[in-house]
């Protein structure tokens, strides 16, 4: 049992998602660790606790350039911080004489404090039940009570034979795609209704570009399955891979209407970009994705690329510059930035960006001439957590506070103080449309029409708003 004081401290933690790191154990128990890291987030989600799925954790690991090796605690904390998690589940496992013991701790990511151990033990064949009991204990430590009773949650015993469960877990743990696929098919051979194994196989087939086969595999997962949302999302990735953009757009449109997430909007933007549809514009959809995951470099990149394809190089440069400031090693972002700057007749800046391209990737030398048919856009492989209104990174939250103060000061005509607050907001979140709009109004009130126009444009680069565009037109038309 966890002492009351420890429970109280954990309950006070922020309500961000939970990240589960595979527990440490001997080399021959890797599949058990993977089974825990795979099953625990799903069990938590069933209890109403936002948790990062194993595939999302893997994608984040790839984006951050972290090798696909067992995670150290320091690396797991780094991943959790990058995903905006409030808590990290870490620990160890031991197996002896057919029995398994799991010892897990909850780490408060912000405070770097560890809970007392949560212990789960029993026969190896009861591993799914052990994971479910631990999920219940973790859910109790959250800010809100579990959405189901303990009896109801633990009473829904899995009908999956343990032999199929083990084959599934071993398939997830395999690094070789062919071996992994064999294990997953073995799991399905033992239990054809094993949707988790079918979903894992479909995902694997998408990663190995077997798109048509993946569609067939994923299509067998019913709409009432707990994994249906993810299966439909991955089907969309397969449709994109096959060039069936209209179908992908329709599929992601349905998902966006029912369970929106940044990943859903992002992949819908990819379909629209390749369709070349006039409405909705791909850039608009990508910006909707960005509003749900502010600071995501892959989405920022897609926004910039979409504006470049749509013939707005100045706006494209605004977004791509933000990407290069987040990652100074992103050669593709510098390449597109050089194209955008040249298209906007900003030759000196374009030359500097091109020098960065050649320094990072000398093989790109033949690509000085823009080729917008290249597949630079960045897709997402998992649907991610459904959007919550309070899902904002810390800098964006702080920026909004500064904007609110700046607007109040502007109303009182305290322009110097308002300018200081709005400038802080724009520094914390350069893509905050409200911060730039506030700066525009301050410049306009001071009679600085040129700087006001620039700030209006920056606001519109961040978010298209007809009211702001009308306001900018009025400011431009007003005699100095």
| CATH number (domain holding residue 97) | 3.40.50.10610
The CATH number given to whatever domain includes residue 405 is 1.25.40.10
Average pLDDT over residues 56-71: 72
Q: Are residues 28 and 125 in the same domain?
A: yes
Q: Are residues 46 and 188 in the same domain?
A: no
Question: What pLDDT digit, counting tens, does each position of 160-191 carry?
Answer: 999 999 999 999 999 899 999 999 999 999 99
Statement: residue 238 has pLDDT above 80: yes
Statement: residue 213 has pLDDT above 90: yes
Q: Are residues 352 and 472 in the same domain?
A: no
Residue 412: inside a domain: yes
pLDDT of residue 414: 87
Phi, psi (degrees; rounded to nearest 5) at 103? -125, 105
**Which has more pLDDT, 185 or 59?**
185
Question: What pLDDT digit, counting tens, does each position of 4-33 carry?
Answer: 333 333 333 445 789 998 999 998 899 999
Statement: residue 355 has pLDDT above 70: yes
Q: Are residues 172 and 37 in the same domain?
A: no
Residue 369: inside a domain: yes
User: Which residue, 131, 158, 185, sits at the end of a domain?
Assistant: 158
User: Which residue, 158, 173, 191, sits at the end of a domain?
Assistant: 158
Q: Are residues 41 and 110 in the same domain?
A: yes
Question: What pLDDT digit, counting tens, does each position of 391-420 carry?
Answer: 555 666 677 788 888 888 888 888 888 888
Residue 423: inside a domain: yes
Q: Are residues 16 and 146 in the same domain?
A: yes
pLDDT of residue 418: 83
Q: Are residues 92 and 191 in the same domain?
A: no
pLDDT of residue 69: 62
Burial class (CB in 10 A: 0-12, 13-18, 19+), 20: buried
**DSSP secondary structure string, 168-222?**
HHHHHH-SSHHHHHHHHHHHHHH-TT-HHHHHHHHHHHHHTT-HHHHHHHHTTS-
Question: What pLDDT digit, counting tens, does each position of 130-154 carry?
Answer: 999 999 989 887 777 787 888 888 7
Mean pLDDT of the chain: 86
Q: Are residues 374 and 410 in the same domain?
A: no
Residue 358: inside a domain: yes
pLDDT of residue 259: 83
**Residue 350, domain extent:** 276-390
Statement: residue 128 has pLDDT above 90: yes
Average pLDDT over residues 91-109: 91
**Which has more pLDDT, 211 or 401?**
211
CA distance linking residue 210 with residue 230, whole number of Å: 18
pTM of the predicted model as reported, rounded to 2 decimal places: 0.80
Residue 266: inside a domain: no
**Which has more pLDDT, 63 or 345?**
345
Q: Which span out of 102-116, 354-368, 414-428 was modeled with the highest average pLDDT? A: 354-368
Q: Are residues 27 and 124 in the same domain?
A: yes
User: Which residue, 141, 158, 175, sits at the end of a domain?
Assistant: 158
Residue 249: inside a domain: no
Average pLDDT over residues 319-328: 92
Mean pLDDT lowest for which of 37-41, 273-277, 339-343?
A: 273-277
Residue 9: inside a domain: yes
Q: Which span out of 325-329, 343-347, 399-403 was modeled with the highest average pLDDT? A: 343-347
Q: Are residues 403 and 288 in the same domain?
A: no
Q: Are residues 130 and 179 in the same domain?
A: no
- The β-bridge partners of 107 are 88, 114
Residue 100: inside a domain: yes
Structural domains counted in the chain: 4
Q: Are residues 360 and 289 in the same domain?
A: yes
């Amino acid at each position: 049992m966890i002492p009351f004081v420890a429970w109280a401290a954990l309950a006070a933690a922020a309500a961000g998602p939970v990240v589960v790191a595979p527990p440490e154990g001997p080399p021959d128990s890797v599949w058990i660790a993977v089974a825990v890291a795979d099953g625990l987030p799903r069990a938590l989600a069933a209890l109403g606790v936002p948790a990062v799925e194993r595939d999302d954790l893997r994608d984040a690991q790839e984006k951050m350039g972290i090798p696909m090796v067992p995670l150290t605690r320091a690396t797991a904390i780094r991943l959790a911080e990058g995903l905006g998690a409030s808590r990290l589940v870490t620990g160890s496992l031991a197996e002896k004489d057919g029995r398994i013991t799991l010892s897990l701790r909850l780490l408060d990511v912000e405070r770097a404090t560890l809970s007392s151990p949560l212990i789960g033990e029993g026969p190896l064949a009861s591993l799914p039940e052990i994971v479910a009991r631990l999920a219940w204990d973790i859910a109790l430590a959250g800010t809100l009570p579990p959405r189901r009773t303990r009896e109801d949650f633990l009473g829904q015993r899995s009908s999956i034979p343990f032999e199929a469960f083990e084959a599934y877990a071993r398939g997830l743990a395999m690094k070789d795609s062919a071996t992994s696929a064999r294990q997953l098919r073995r799991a399905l051979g033992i239990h054809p209704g094993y949707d988790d194994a079918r979903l894992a196989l479909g995902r694997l087939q998408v990663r190995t570009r077997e798109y048509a086969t993946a569609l067939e595999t994923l299509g067998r997962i019913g709409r009432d399955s707990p994994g249906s949302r993810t299966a439909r999302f991955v089907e969309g990735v397969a449709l994109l891979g096959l060039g069936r953009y209209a179908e992908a757009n329709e599929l992601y449109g349905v998902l966006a209407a029912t369970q929106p997430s940044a990943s859903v909007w992002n992949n819908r933007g990819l379909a629209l970009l390749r369709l070349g549809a006039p409405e909705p514009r791909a850039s608009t959809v990508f910006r909707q994705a960005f509003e749900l995951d502010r600071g995501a470099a892959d989405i920022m990149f897609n926004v910039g690329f979409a504006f470049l394809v749509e013939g707005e190089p100045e706006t494209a440069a605004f977004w791509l510059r933000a990407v290069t400031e987040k990652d100074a090693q992103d050669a593709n972002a510098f390449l597109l930035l050089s194209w955008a700057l040249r298209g906007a007749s900003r030759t000196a800046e374009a030359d500097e960006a091109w020098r960065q391209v050649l320094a990072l990737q000398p093989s790109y030398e033949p690509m000085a001439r823009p080729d917008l048919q290249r597949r630079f856009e960045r897709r997402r492989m998992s649907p991610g957590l459904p959007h919550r209104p309070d899902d904002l990174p810390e800098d964006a939250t702080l920026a909004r506070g500064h904007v609110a103060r700046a607007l109040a000061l502007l109303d009182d005509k305290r322009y110097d103080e308002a300018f200081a607050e709005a400038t802080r907001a724009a520094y914390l979140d350069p893509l905050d449309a409200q911060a730039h709009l506030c700066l525009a109004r301050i410049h306009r009130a001071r009679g600085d029409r040129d700087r006001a126009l620039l700030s209006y444009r920056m606001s519109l680069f961040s978010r298209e708003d007809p009211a702001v565009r009308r306001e900018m037109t009025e400011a431009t038309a007003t005699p100095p």
